[in-house]
Structure 1
Amino acid sequence: MLGFIILVLLGAIWGGSFLFMRIAVPSLGPAYLIELRVLFAALTLTIIALITRRAINHKGLTKHYLILGLFNSALPFLLFAYAAQYVSASVLSVLNSTAPFWGVIVASVWLKQDISARTLLGCLCGLLGVAALVDLQSMPSFSELLPILAALGATLSYGIASNYTKIAPKVGAFDNAHGNLWASTFLVIPVLFVQPIPTATEANTVLWAVIALGVICTGVAYILYFKLIDLMGAAQALTVTFLIPLFGIMWGHMFLNEPIGPNTLIGAVLVIMGVMLVTGVKVQQFLPWRQRVS
């Protein structure tokens, strides 16, 4: 039961990350928003490590953390933040769920892993879901498609990161999270010089959105995810992917008055179906009454 509660809570938190990005990015811009996000998240994990007296492994891992930080945090966060200037939280949360598709594609190209018929069908469902979200019948221009492509680039980056970890040095989950967030903090700094210094309006709202995004949606969420893996296993923990679009759509509608059109619903259903096919995870696996009693 505890695993189910954490699963729902984590889905709500990660679904809310797109809401907070939509709130803060118009004032701060993508670069400053993400620099604050990864900095607050890194500080959160550092404080937790100090409180729990947890030793952090960093010796000889600088290159590893920089690679992981680039593809797992810095690049995807920046791309999502850019897209959040133009795309609703609802659509972003659904696009975020395409990461498993990129994971199998990258594994096939990079690690030469075979793709099953089930996986191909799942990728096709995901592609149809993205097409429904974009509404290709309306023939959007390239400038209108660019934020969607940026969001898909973010999930491609997640796919690269997940495959990199298969061949990367074996490091604990907490150390990976802590190291990649500090690496991301330094990697985003050069991007700050490309963007004008922001002049924030509604400072209190923006500040709380940034704190929530960094501390809760990134730092605390990592801790919850590690706990979820311990309780349910990596495969079942992946079912959080199904909940993120549901909460993302709900939060966007409740707090930003984003309309929930048929394209969003159809796209979400198709993407979630595709993720289920690609990952081989069944919805019943994360129902509380189906949890194994240890």
Structure 2
Amino acid sequence: MSQTLSPAAPTDPAAARDWRTPLELGFLGVVWGCSFLFMRVAVPSFGPYALVELRLTLGALVLLPFLWRDRARFPLRRWPLLAGIGVLNSALPFLLFAWGAAHAPAAIGAITNAMTVLFTALIAFLFFGEKIGARRATALLVGFVGVLVLAAGKSAGLSVGPSALAGTSASLLYGIGYNLVKRHMSDLPPASSAAATLGCAAILLSPLAITHWPVAPVPANAWACAAALGVVCTGLAYLLYYRLIQRIGPARASTVTYLIPVFGALLAWAILGEPLTWTMLLAALLILGSVAVSQGVFRRR
């Protein structure tokens, strides 16, 4: 998951107490948790390049009507930046998570994805002059300790370190992309911008996808997972997320970050039979706890 845009806070304060909010947040947590399971199933048959190409293309197609509607707001001069952000915020992170899913349980990617919130604050501090404060700095250190704990673990006797590093790198790229979007694309409609960046990323990745397209027949379950990854976990999920942001604000909507690792790990355990280890649990507690501290959850309460 990438939190690509932050529209204005909701105009109706009662929206945050709407009964739909917890249901939609829970649904998003399940959908984005499932994305790691879908990658785990599909990537052995497709490989990372072809799978990510399908994900980008299908996600862009779902959102394409919004881009067509708002096409007048996307002059030619903005497209190079859109393409660059598409690579940083979609193509490369998706590739890293897909590669990681080919070498370790789905829970590894789901847990490291939560580092996006911390990396977003770090990049804003290092390159954009935003204050980070002692609380967030401490949270970052705790989060990195969680990544080290996760990387030190094993699954089926094999180290998950490379996959944990890949997922952490993907989250770092999400953090960079989020800051770029916040500063250069905040005046554009969210769904249309997502369609533009996903579409650009799909076009730029297509040569690699074509040269690495699977030669063996791809099973039906892998096709189904790839389609769900693009249509549901990318296109439709972005639409729901933007709708949530507009209704309850970005801070409240970002709480879905806490649900993704939980659902990702539990679904992979229940459906794929993948093990849940103590290092995964400890790492998840450290990373999610650090995210909660960085966002001031306990202080507000």
| TM-score when normalising by structure 2 | 0.86
Q: For residues 65-80 of structure 1, what are the structure 2 equivalents within 5 Å?
A: 65-80=82-97
Question: For residues 165-190 of structure 1, what are the alpha-carbon distances to aligned partners after superposition, in whole Å with 9 as ceiling and x for unaligned?
Answer: 23214211112111111111112113
Alpha-carbon distance between aligned partners in 1 of 2:81 and 2:203, rounded to the nearest angstrom: 14
Per the alignment, do residues 281 and 172 of structure 1 end up closer, same or farther by CA in structure 2, a change over 3 Å counting? farther
Task: State yes or no: 1:259 paired with 2:275.
Answer: yes
2:221 to 163, 185, 205: 205
SS at match of 2:191: helix
Residue 86 in structure 1 maps to residue 100 in structure 2? no
Amino acid at match of 2:32: W
Residue 235 (str. 1) matches residue 251 (str. 2): yes
2:39 aligned partner? 21
Asked whether the 8 Å contact 1:28–1:200 carries over to 2, the reply is: no
Q: Which residue is equivalent to 2:200?
A: 183
Which amino acid counterpart does residue 287 of structure 2 have in structure 1?
A: V
Where do 5+ consecutive residues of structure 2 fail to align? 1-18
Q: Distance in 2 between matches of 1:274 and 1:144?
A: 21
Q: Residue type of the partner of 2:30?
A: A
Partners of 1:15 and 1:6 lie apart in 2 by 14
Residues 130-279 of structure 1: matches in 2 within 5 Å? 130-135=147-152, 145-169=161-185, 170-192=187-209, 195=212, 197-201=214-218, 203-279=219-295
Matched residue count: 279
Matched, 1:106 2:117: no
Give the alignment partner of residue 28 of structure 2, picking from 2, 7, 10.
Answer: 10
Distance in 2 (CA, whole Å) between partners of 1:110 and 1:262 is: 36
List per-residue Cα deviations over 1:209-245 (Å, max 9, x = no partner). Answer: 0110000000000001011112211111110000000
Determine the structure 1 residue equivalent to 2:70: 55
Q: Distance in 2 between matches of 1:182 and 1:196?
A: 19
Return the alpha-carbon distance in structure 1 between the equivalents of residues 134 and 36 of structure 2.
33
2:259 alignment partner AA = L
Q: Distance in 2 between matches of 1:27 and 1:221?
A: 24
Give 2:295's aligned amino acid: T
1:283–1:45 distance in 2 versus 1, CA, 3 Å: farther
Does the 8 Å contact 1:92/1:151 carry over to 2?
yes
1:139-198, CA deviations, whole angstroms, 9 ceiling, x for partnerless residues? Answer: x99x96333222111111101011112321421111211111111111211322553634
RMSD after superposition = 2.4
Amino acid of the structure 1 residue aligned with 2:119: W
Contact 2:104–2:160 (Cα < 8 Å) also in 1? no
Partner residue in 2 for 1:44: 62
Gap change, CA 1:283 and 1:113, over 3 Å in 2: closer
Identical residues among aligned pairs (%): 35
Residue in structure 2 matched with residue 31 of structure 1 by the alignment = 49
1-structure distance, mates of 2:254, 2:125: 20
TM-score, structure 1 as length reference: 0.88
Whether the 8 Å contact between 1:29 and 1:198 is mirrored in structure 2 is no
| Partner of residue 3, structure 2 | none
